[in-house]
Structure 1
């Protein structure tokens, strides 16, 4: 009897999403839902794995790849893949997959919700009521900033950026964007205007970062960048924490250089309750839940399972990351 290929899953995922893998592989999973698999365990599992079902928190580097002689595929439960050394994997003939498309609308929903919550002080106002501070009505009680008819500047006009721009049209917003290349579809269909990074910073009321983490975008948002924004500007980050100098952002918020920030991601995750940005009332912080809806996470897991199964069966996976 032919031995089945071995697949290691680095986090607990819905069992029903693993059907494509169960048919063709022996599966072993890390059983914790919120605690990442220890590095030592991942290295040991990689030694015997034909396939790895991974998360952004799992570092797939040269050391791991050098000790994984049977590895054929690494499939990430994310659009991003900055946790994987793509060049090293390609050199060793390991296919790398991700989960684009299926999470676009869900992440765009969360991004725009984060923008709205920050602008209208939703979290702060809800806490105000829960803490028993609401004693009377006042004209400027918890007054925030309008969203309609304002200018949104989107840094990173890919699938998610375009979906956020589509939502902005419902608020009659002026849409600016900065990207590595022109997105003519967004320009024609959504009325988005391609501008320089400098122009976007100067003119936008809301700066929304949806750019991937690359050498060019790492620490893109510095003190100098925040000082180019309007004092009334609100910064939203739903991409990667490392695109922001968090110390510079903290100072900008404390000193009134910008008005507020909505953050779904941080440089080092998870953050503790002692993180300096959490002391600021003009910050809305979320635990990296951009694509976290039941429907989307299920669809993402199913796509990862199909990608691994396809590679192990000698078929072409649905979503391959090119080197």
Structure 2
């Protein structure tokens, strides 16, 4: 690609030092210091002023953002993250903008957070931690805070992609769980697991239901009142996918009514807003979107995004196109 001087690239959030250092060695970098999502004006300016942008979750590059451009100066959005439902990929393509993401780098870290939530929810760990901090704990006794023993239970995975499979392996090999799963297409895996065609049937058969699907229109409110009603009263729901995969108000109602045993959430429908009703419930474990929050993982994600940018500007095939 012909150009004078290094490509001008905007990095939309503060990133680990190693990522920024490498980025500056490759490109003319501007680092946006704000940790909040980009505004519409910022996104339009970015398309007009930079050759490439590294956006992330919350930077909603919708069709409206692209609408005022024919072919913007920006030719690539190298998304920092595997999920890209915040980017209208079709609109980007129509305006000559490529989109990439960072699969693989996030798989194990996200699966680890799923296991964290499974254990915390089933064993009432967050509730117990609050009890100790409150100073109200009166000591051990045989019926104190009895939760659900996870080993040997049945887990249902909704979405058997990379992350879903990583969660399933941990559940089966680490905790001796029977694995059932629901997937949009037929899926073969290299460990014991049974595919279930009906999502409500899956919900009815498992002790733990885990949402591990990508975000987007096809999965919006996939976990709805019908799915939650099918779950057993002792069962726990875990979400490490996207917040709007779940009909949040319905989940709150199910928890308030004791319709399900509990929930563990790392994502929310209207992040960072979490409903007061949800925060008041002892039967839900709430994490602040920690899925990939480990320094080495975030560094790997940044390096992968830079690999995509470098390949694009060198005229090479994109490692991770979407």
**Which band: TM-score by shorter chain?**
over 0.9
Determine if contact 2:200/2:226 at 8 Å carries over to the other structure: no
Q: Which moved more, 1:294-303 or 1:131-140?
A: 131-140
Please give the per-residue CA displacement for 1:199-235, whole angstroms capped at 9, x wherever unaligned.
2111000000001123231111122221111011100
Determine if contact 1:5/1:25 at 8 Å carries over to the other structure: yes
Correspondent of 2:178 among 174, 178, 184 = 174
How far apart are residue 46 of structure 1 and its match?
2.1
Determine if contact 2:43/2:61 at 8 Å carries over to the other structure: no
Tell me which residue corresponds to 2:61.
Answer: 60
Tell me which residue corresponds to 2:89.
Answer: 86
Correspondent of 1:14 among 11, 16, 37 = 16
2:124 corresponds to 1:121: yes
2:247 corresponds to 1:245: yes
Please give the per-residue CA displacement for 1:164-209, whole angstroms capped at 9, x wherever unaligned.
011011111010000011221x2xx220100121221110000000
Give the 5 Å matches for 1:201-220.
201-220=203-222
Whole-angstrom distance in 1 between the partners of 2:310 and 2:235: 47
Determine if contact 1:21/1:309 at 8 Å carries over to the other structure: no
Q: 1:89 to 1:38 in 2, by over 3 A?
A: closer
2:161 corresponds to 1:158: yes
Q: 1:23 to 1:313 in 2, by over 3 A?
A: farther
Whole-angstrom distance in 1 between the partners of 2:303 and 2:21: 8
2:204 corresponds to 1:183: no
Name the TM-score, length of structure 2 as normaliser.
Answer: 0.94
Tell me which residue corresponds to 2:302.
Answer: 301
Determine if contact 2:107/2:166 at 8 Å carries over to the other structure: yes
Whole-angstrom distance in 1 between the partners of 2:184 and 2:227: 18
Name the TM-score, length of structure 1 as normaliser.
Answer: 0.94
How far apart are residue 20 of structure 1 and its match?
4.7
Aligned pairs, how many?
A: 316
Correspondent of 2:138 among 135, 138, 141 = 135
Tell me which residue corresponds to 1:264.
Answer: 266
2:36 corresponds to 1:35: yes
2:92 corresponds to 1:108: no
Tell me which residue corresponds to 1:280.
Answer: 281
Whole-angstrom distance in 2 between the partners of 1:78 and 1:24: 20
How far apart are residue 38 of structure 1 and its match?
3.1
Tell me which residue corresponds to 2:237.
Answer: 235
RMSD (Å) for aligned C-alpha atoms: 1.6
Whole-angstrom distance in 1 between the partners of 2:247 and 2:179: 25
Determine if contact 1:72/1:312 at 8 Å carries over to the other structure: no
SS in structure 2 at match of 1:247: helix
Whole-angstrom distance in 2 between the partners of 1:216 and 1:18: 35
How far apart are residue 19 of structure 1 and its match?
4.5
How far apart are residue 37 of structure 1 and its match?
3.0
Structure 2: 5+ residue stretches without partners: none
How far apart are residue 131 of structure 1 and its match?
1.0
Tell me which residue corresponds to 1:5.
Answer: 7
Whole-angstrom distance in 2 between the partners of 1:302 and 1:281: 39
